[in-house]
Structure 1
Amino acid sequence: MGDTSTLLEVRTQGARRLADHLMAEMTRGKLRKGMRLPPERELGELFGVSRGSVRRVLAQFCDQGFISQRVGSGTFVLPKAENLSRSQEIIAATPTSPAELMVARLLIEPLMPGLIVQNATSADFKHMFQCLDQSEAATSIDEFEHWDEELHKAFAFATHNSFFVQLMDLTNKVREQGEWGRLKRISLTAETRQQYELQHRAIVDALKDRDARLAKNLLFGHLQLIQRNLFGG
């Protein structure tokens, strides 16, 4: 993970979002060796940044050995990028129980609001509110769980720190395991779902108000409630 720190040395928040996105896609294995990245103009439009900013981000990925740029052909992913995915697979190969996951989340996720209130953009908050709307409109547990996961992922991306993005990706891998799903189905009643939705709204509102302390306390309380509902006590 040490190699990723310099990738965030970019001038605009949109460029940081682009860097975070590329790193996350490589880590998940969605950007693999030989794949061609979208054109610079398309990346600029997607993340709301100038082509100059896109070029600076891509230049840093080139310097790190993750991509190569061929004049007239485009930008391609190099084999080194697959090492990120393999390292995640090695970590994921060690079974993590839902109980262990919740202990780790209680320690790590409350650290994010401090960075979010400093770095989050209007696009970040727009995505958070979209996740809220979609989760509240969900008609099944699986759909609700998907948008719940997307919201917490949105928190990680809004830190604009690739370390938290990668940690959240590992978290979601554990959430995809059967044991987590079984516990969630048992614990997710209409009442608990309503509690989660209210807590989610309160957390996002506090982040939007740039109130890091309140958001941290609300997020910690939310995770504690999940832990109690999953395991009792």
Structure 2
Amino acid sequence: MLESLVQQRFAVPGARAEGIRALSDHLLKEMSEGGLRRGVKLPPERELSERFGISRGSVRRVLAHLREQGLITQTVGSGTFVAAQAEALRRPRPEPEPAHTSPAELMVARLLIEPLMPGLIVQNATAADFQDMFHCLEQSEAAGSIEEFEHWDEALHRSFAHATHNSFFVRILDLTNQVREQGEWGRLKRISLTPETRRQYQVQHRAIVDALKDRDAVQARRLLVEHLEQIQRNLFSRPGA
């Protein structure tokens, strides 16, 4: 299905064709790989226009095409959301599903592995990498539901892995996100993610990204460890955890 959609894309002459194709490819790729899931709100037209260097009219054309395919829904005053039909684009993972990993096991592993990333990020990250991080921050802060916040939280940590420019960390974060899709993690997150803890995470996320942008690996690592330890406490120090 994905291939047929790509073939139908926008035969537009001129310089704007590249930006239109880039936006179309980006949205379809994110849907097919699970980066954009059912119910997730897409960025506003203005942001997509600036990010891909095309007019808002061109953005609307791409979105109209996806809406006609049933992949998104649009509501005046609410925005554009990924539709249930987009799940049909999801590609099966070639590797077998991992054995069940408990949230406690996951947090122990994250505390060992993720603090290794800032050293590589400050060496290798590009301007585009930092742009992706700030995009994730903005979307998580604007999220209207726990599911949407969790999506952009995952995306931010995945952007850290990509900014290392080391494929091992990308694979590890993909595996981490597979574990986070398991039901037990979701239950604990719903219990622990109060308005106050969400504000804490947002402040911590901003501080981590700012330290990385300043190329301060020591500070970024310290802040990341504190953030992960805070998540660990919030997940397991509550009744029913």
Q: Do the structures match in fold with TM over 0.5?
A: yes
Aligned to 1:164: 169
Q: Percent identity?
A: 72
Separation of aligned partners in 1, 2:201 and 2:117: 19
Q: Write the letter of the residue equivalent to 1:165.
A: V
Cα distance change on mapping 1:204 and 1:29 into 2, 3 Å: closer
Separation of aligned partners in 1, 2:215 and 2:98: 38
Which consecutive residues of structure 2, in runs of 5 or more, have no partner in the other structure?
A: 1-28, 35-51, 53-90
Q: Comparing both chains, which one has the higher relative contact order based on Cα–Cα distances under 8 Å and sequence gaps of 6 or more?
A: 1
Separation of aligned partners in 1, 2:117 and 2:221: 8
Separation of aligned partners in 2, 1:205 and 1:29: 28
* 1:106 matched to 2:106: no
Aligned to 2:87: none
In the TM superposition, residue 29 of structure 1 has moved relative to its aligned partner by: 7.7
Separation of aligned partners in 2, 1:230 and 1:209: 30
- Match of 1:195, SS state, is helix
Q: Write the letter of the residue equivalent to 1:116.
A: I
226, 231, 240: which is aligned to 1:226? 231
Which consecutive residues of structure 1, in runs of 5 or more, have no partner in the other structure?
A: 1-24, 31-45, 47-81
Separation of aligned partners in 2, 1:202 and 1:151: 13
Separation of aligned partners in 1, 2:111 and 2:99: 20
Separation of aligned partners in 1, 2:119 and 2:188: 30
Separation of aligned partners in 1, 2:94 and 2:221: 32
TM-score of the pair, normalised by structure 1: 0.62
Aligned to 2:182: 177
1:132-165 CA distances to partner (integer Å, 9 max, x unpaired)?
Answer: 0000000100000000000000000000000000
In the TM superposition, residue 94 of structure 1 has moved relative to its aligned partner by: 1.2
Aligned to 1:11: none
TM-score of the pair, normalised by structure 2: 0.60
Q: Write the letter of the residue equivalent to 1:117.
A: V
The size of the alignment, in residue pairs, is 153
Pairs within 5 Å for 1:1-233? 85-87=93-95, 89=96, 92-232=97-237
